[in-house]
Each structure stands twice: as structure tokens, then as C-alpha cells.
Structure 1
């Protein structure tokens, strides 16, 4: 069988393979994705191997391709992660998604590129750092009483803050890194956040993600939950147009996360092409889709 790597990190790997005493709270998503992919890969003659992205390079020998999987600590080590992907490519191992996609997608300023290509994004201010005065200025700029401050390089809601005029950060608070400030969208709590999963640019399945009571972050680490979602023709067309706006033809998988603006239009919050969780429970044929896409790439190599 052809060996395919599934890049993970110590916090998401199963206990017998990881090097930590306790896995991340969302590591069950790693297990769900592996359970969906492995049987379909085996049927396609592919042996899916979970591996820490920091494993010695020799451990990757014999692999034809690696998926970026659940390497969910890359955001704190982006240069090291990119160097590893480059090293794998130099060894003749195909990387999905490729390093050039990761470089573009790692900093959320890529949203500006999508906007220039016609996609609707959430209104955003881009700052080298943010303090209390910047938060107030952003509220004035957007004409809102609540904003969200996010890391420019980040995922999973880590290091994210939400402030209101009644609950501002302390006077000495600083984000301490490049960041983005956006108006808080009430629809994220009232309606939920929508995810559209694409494999080889074809729509696979939709997901509606909801926040827990009293929260606005929809990730499972914060009590968020999800359910299946069949998008309207208009909403699907909006998401598909975002995929069409991507500046790459080599994207194996893509997860478009969107929220509804006050005017009713969906806007891009994220176009995740590095290591997104692909919600296999809501997409029962995800394994087959990814296996076929990988096999097609290997045949074309």
C-alpha cells in the first residue's frame, strides 16, 4: 500500500503515539477525522499514518504524500512548521496543501487578497499591535459597541479577545503582536457560523456551528457544537465564489467559514487551507472524497 502521512502534533496524537500526559481538549476531533479517512484510504490502496510533524525526517521516508492534518500548534511555530514542509518537499514528498499555500494562508491578511478578488469579508482593521486606545478607536471606526481582536497568525480562537465599551481592557493591556480588529457580529451568536467544506474545489458538505450559552467562540474547546447544514443556493454560490477567488489551483481541501452581516450577506471569516478540521460527522462521504483526490494526485505525479 502507498504510505500517506497525516501530520499531527504531540497534543493531538493518540496517547500511545504522543509525548504529552494529557491531550488537548479538542483532540477527539483528530480521532473522528482519522476514523473517517483511514477506511476510505485503505479501500483506495493508501495506508494512512499519523505522525508528529516534528518527527525526525527519516520517519517520513517512503511516504508519497502528507496531509497537514491536526498540526494545531503550528501557529506558535510558523517558521519551523514551514521549514519542515519545505524539507518534506525537497525529499520528494507531496505536501497537501503545499507550502506556498500555507505561506499565503498563515497570516489572516490573505483576507485582503480575497476582497480584492471580489469576496465579501468582515470589515477589518489591521494593526501591528493593539492597546486600549486602539480598541476604543476601532469601536468608533465601525460604529459599534463591541469588537473582537484576533491574532494575525492564529487558529482555534487562541489568543482572541472580545471587548465592549462597558468592558474595556485595562489601561496597560496590549495584544503584544500583529492583530486584526473586527466588529462583533451578533449573528455569530444568534444564528451561528457557517462552514462550507470543499475537496478539490467541489462542495462536500455544510456545517452550522453554534456557540455555547454565554460564549461567542464556536470551537469545541469553548463548548461550541455543530450540526449538519444544507445551504441555500445563494449561500452556496457565495461560498463557491470565495473558492474561485483563491489564487491557487493546487488546493486539495479548503474550509470556508462565513458569518452573516447585518445586511443579510454572508462574509468570509476564514478560508482555512492549512490544518482545518473538516467535520467528518457532518460529511459522511468525506473520507471517500479525500481518498479519491489524493489518489488522483499520486497518479498525476
Structure 2
């Protein structure tokens, strides 16, 4: 018999609560809300770091990826662990959807299925073209450069004709190691923000609006961005749900980041299906909705 029904996955930095660090406290508290909601569904639950060396992953029916926020900094190690753990237990979301979502080439698949996404140009590893040559080829002026596998704004740069030359060296270094992507700079994200809609198993739960601090374009709180509750329109909700239905399989949880693009159309900037921040603290029902869907899928 399995020891646990579900293990909530975090990383070592967030195993303990903090009375002095609000960020760490919020991470711990949100996982606590999920844990309590799962217990209310009569599930046996624990919370561990994903790289715990002492736990036998066969001792749980499933694992729930929540705050494994070091995975992209330890991607090779995480990838090997992911392959191993998928043979021992059930993954929520699945290994298939995690690997699909890790690399932002998935935007091309969403586009092929009729989901409007942020305009993107992918630059494959080893490309010899310079940033200046690529911008001339695309006829783009202001862009954002980012890795195809990333998180928390890692190596994300805003490029303009005035600063592109100073980014050539870092681009030359990065493109020898990993694929990158260019996207036209989206002015509405700066002025209006980016909406994050939370969808559990195809059911809308709640939403927030992320806004960059004055003078920046990155909405992540790592760079001073702010988050406020948001009431999306029915059109925005339907758009987000349809985006999750275009995935290789319906994710049990998803954060759909959307915005109004430069042509005033709703567009997906990202689908977060691995370990997204879901702001359970903003909505008292959200953790309970997720727990109910998990309970049903484990039966």
C-alpha cells in the first residue's frame, strides 16, 4: 500500500516558513493552503523538495508540482529526475505535458491549433547570425530576447536600435548553449499589464493582473512587478480555457498568461503548466477546486 496519496513538490529553499521574508512565507503559505485542501478531500499528503534523496517515490500515488522553482537553473539534473520519477508514480501535470511546456517552441503548436499567440521568432542553438542581422531580416525595431527554456525573467532583454550592439556579446555566448527567441516588444503589457487566468482541468478559477514597475517591462515580482486581483471578461475566460484545450492533453492546472497585443488582439504570452505561481492566497476557493479535481483523478 502507498504511504501517501500525493506529495506536494517544492525546492529546498521553501521547505520552511519564514517570519522575516514575505516572499518565502507566501510560497510556504500557498503550499499550505493546497495541502489543507487535499487533506479535506481525505487524501494523505506530505510536502517535499523534488530532489529529496531519502524519499522512495514509489511510496506515493502521485506528485504535484508546485514550487519547484529551481528546476530551470538545474535543468539537466531536473530532466533526469523527471524521467526517473515518472516510472515510479503519477505526475501532475504529466511528464509529457511538462516536457512540452518547458520549451517555448510549444507556442508554434498553439498557433497551429488556432490559438493567437505572441508573435515569435525562434533562433536555434548554434545560429551564426547577429542580433542586428536578425532584426534587419525581420524588419523589427523594438524586441524582447529570451531563452526558449527559462523562468523568472532569466536572460530576458529589451532590445532597441540604441542598445542592440551592447547585447551582441551575451547573445553570441547564449546561442552557442541554448535556443533563444525574439518577440516584438508589446507596448500594451507596459501600459495595461498582463493577465494571468488560472484554469483547473478546463474550469476557470480566478485571475490576477500583473503590472511592471515604472520604467521596466518585466511583470515578474523578481523585478519589482506587482499583482492585483482581476475580473476577466467572458471573452478572456473562454480564450484561456481554449488555450488549455489546445495542449497535448488537458492539464489539471494551468496558468494562462494573456495580453492585448500590438494589433489589439488577445494573445497568449505563455502557458505555465509546470510549477506556476497560482495565487491561492487571493482566492479562498481556488485550492479547494484544485484539490477536488485531484481527488477525482486519483480515484
TM-score by shorter chain over 0.5: yes
The residue aligned with 2:154 is 158
Aligned equivalent of 2:81:
84
3-state secondary structure, aligned to 1:101: helix
8 Å CA contact 2:5–2:43 kept in 1: the answer is yes
Q: Tell me what 1:148 maps to.
A: 144
Are 1:2 and 1:45, in contact at CA under 8 Å, matched by a contact in 2?
no
**Distance change in 2, residues 1:282/1:143 (3 Å):** farther
Match of 1:35 in 2: 32
Report the counterpart of residue 261 of structure 2 in structure 1: 261
> Partner of 1:7 in structure 2?
9
Aligned equivalent of 1:201: 202
Unpaired runs of at least 5, structure 1: 17-21
8 Å CA contact retained: 2:196, 2:257: yes
- Aligned-partner Cα distance in 1 for 2:104–2:204: 23
Aligned-pair RMSD on alpha carbons?
2.5
Cα distance change on mapping 1:222 and 1:132 into 2, 3 Å: farther
Secondary structure of residue in 2 paired with 1:51: strand
Please tell me whether the aligned partners of residues 139 and 183 of structure 1 are also in contact (alpha carbons under 8 angstroms).
Answer: no
CA displacement at 1:192 relative to structure 2: 0.1
CA 78–142 in structure 1, closer or farther in 2 if over 3 Å, else same: same
Change (3 A) 1:169 1:45: farther
Q: Taking structure 2 as the reference length, what is the TM-score of the superposition?
A: 0.88
The secondary structure found in structure 2 opposite 1:72 is: coil
Structure 2: how far apart are the matches of 1:149 and 1:130?
16
Task: For residue 169 of structure 1, report the CA deviation from its aligned partner.
Answer: 3.9
1:226 paired residue number: 227
Deviations 1:232-264 (A, max 9, x none): 122222222211211213x21011111211222
Structure 2 residue runs of 5 or longer lacking an equivalent are none
Equivalent in the alignment of 1:101: 97
> Offset of 1:191 from its aligned partner?
0.2
SS at match of 1:58: coil
